Amino acid sequence: MESNIHNYMEVLVGKRFIELDFHQIYTLDQITDMKCIALNQLPTLYIRYSLDMLAGTPQKKIIQYNNMVAAAVENAEKMVLNDRRQRNDDFEDIVVYVPKDRFELEDEEVPFSGDLKMDL
């Protein structure tokens, strides 16, 4: 694939992050997470040249793309702000599956609850 082919949604998401000054508010890891989350909510739109894209796309469609990006970025920001990895209140709901022995098939695994002790 040619190196100048890219997903135009990445450009729009990047612009939205700049508009919202996310680089002043969030860490690089949070920004990266939010970009991935936002892009996973959007359709891919591969283009070769941005100028051709803008010239050949009706204004109504560009507004629609921008609205989609705004909603995806807003959702991504909410997800990162509500990061389950940073909370301790829901760890008791996690179920860990441990095989009875290391040679056992996955479909024979049983739920584990309690302290996990590993022999090393």
3-state secondary structure of 97: strand
Under the banding of pLDDT at 50, 70 and 90, the label for residue 7 is very high
Angle at which helix 28-40 crosses helix 8-19, to 10 degrees, equals 130
Q: Looking at residues 21-43, what average pLDDT do you find?
A: 95
Residue with tokens 């949604």: 9
Q: Looking at residues 82-92, what average pLDDT do you find?
A: 67
Query: 111: which DSSP letter?
Result: E
- Residue 75 pLDDT > 80, yes or no? yes
pLDDT on residue 53: 82
Separation in Å, CA 114 to CA 9, 21, 31, 70, 99: 45, 44, 35, 43, 14
φ and ψ of 114, to 5 deg: 120, -160
pLDDT on residue 8: 93
Q: What is the largest CA-CA distance in the chain?
A: 64
pTM reported for the whole predicted model: 0.67
Which residues does residue 46 pair with via DSSP β-bridges, in sequence order? 7
- Residue 98 pLDDT > 70, yes or no? no
- Residue 80 pLDDT > 80, yes or no? yes
